[in-house]
Structure 1
Amino acid sequence: MPLTIPNLLTLLRVVLIPVFLASFFAPTEHRYLIAAFIFWFAAGTDILDGYLARKLNQSTKFGAFLDPVADKVMVCGALVLLSHDYQSVWVTVPAIVMISREIIISALREWMAELGKRGIVAVSIWGKIKTAAQMLAIIALLSRYNETVINIGFGLLYIATALTISSMISYLWAASASIKEQDQEI
């Protein structure tokens, strides 16, 4: 494992996952704000590590593997926490949709990579917009700062959910010819 700056940032994000989870349940008055800050910081390292990997020409296979894993574990953990904390169908259903999409698209990307067609399901602009809306929604909902911030968080959560469904359909559609091709070989 090459210890490049982008890989170190990704490893930091992995280390922040249990810190984030522990802060959410810490018996302190500001636990929500602390958890939101840690999540925000981790999201920032995700943006920074990708930028630095390209800028410094330090992309590695290890980083390409670990970066999306760290992102998905952090996001899925946050969505589970929000579902637990809000105990509302209005949070739980979007969380299930988003987590399910992550599993489906990860499996699809792995399968396409095995077929030598990973580029078919490469991250699109809609996937990036979905991620931005999702991260902002999670930060707002985690913070519980005030009613306005929470309402903005809910709005962003529903936008992220719509983009989640849309981008999933887009990726599945893009891979459909390869899927049909594989089915004919069986």
Structure 2
Amino acid sequence: MNIPNALTLIRFLLVPFYLYIYFSGFSNSFVYAMLIFFVAGVTDVLDGFIARRFNMITKWGTLLDPLADKIMLLTVLFSLSYTNIIPHWVFFIVFIKEALMIIGGFTLFKKHETVIAAKYYGKAATVLFYLAIGTLIYSKTYGIYLLYCAIFLAFFALYNYLVHYMHIKKQVD
């Protein structure tokens, strides 16, 4: 296992830790949970940088890295909607979008051993989600506004992913 894949694994392990802290009732548990979320974001940036810089890109890393991101994001959105910090529909609509992308990604990988790498608009949506969630700590109004922008950008990424998916499927079938 290389360093980028190890960082991705750490991100998977941070998910239950985040949930434990978020729902613990400890003093400042919300702030600590958000710190865990942002540590996960830093590991995402680091694993991508290291993988590209030192040519450590693997098919498994290309597949598991976005999965770790999606699971962490969905976990955070679930906890925020469960505690009524964000509207419940936000979690459900992002869940549906992410499920479609996960299913499509695994289908291409399983049938054709093809992986669609993350594109800049998908990465931008992820950054915007992090910004929105970070902003929620200080301002619910601005945080929700940024969250809606992130959802719009995420669906733009989904549309482009589907176009790319159909193009690849046509080529390999």
- TM-score, normalization: structure 1? 0.80
Whole-Å Cα distance in 2 between the matches of residues 110 and 8 of structure 1? 21
- Residue 77 of structure 2 corresponds to which residue in structure 1? 79
Deviation track 1:15-37 (CA, whole Å, cap 9, x = no partner) reads: 21111111101222311111111
2:126 counterpart of 1:135? no
- Residue 126 of structure 1 corresponds to which residue in structure 2? 121
Q: Give the share of equivalent positions with the same residue, in percent.
A: 31
Q: Per chain length, whose mean CA-contact separation is higher, i.e. which structure has more relative contact order (CA < 8 Å, sep 6+)?
A: 1
- How is 1:5-154 mapped onto 2 (pairs within 5 angstroms)? 5-86=3-84, 91-114=87-110, 116=112, 118=114, 121-141=116-136, 144=137, 146=138, 148=139, 150-154=140-144
- TM-score, normalization: structure 2? 0.85
Identify unmatched segments of 5+ residues in structure 1.
none
Q: Which amino acid aligns with 1:42?
A: A
The structure number with the bigger radius of gyration is 1
Asked if the contact 2:125–2:154 (Cα under 8 Å) also holds between the matched residues in 1, the reply is: yes
Asked if the contact 2:66–2:118 (Cα under 8 Å) also holds between the matched residues in 1, the reply is: no
Report the aligned-residue RMSD: 2.6
Whole-Å Cα distance in 2 between the matches of residues 9 and 168 of structure 1? 25
Q: Which amino acid aligns with 2:105?
A: R
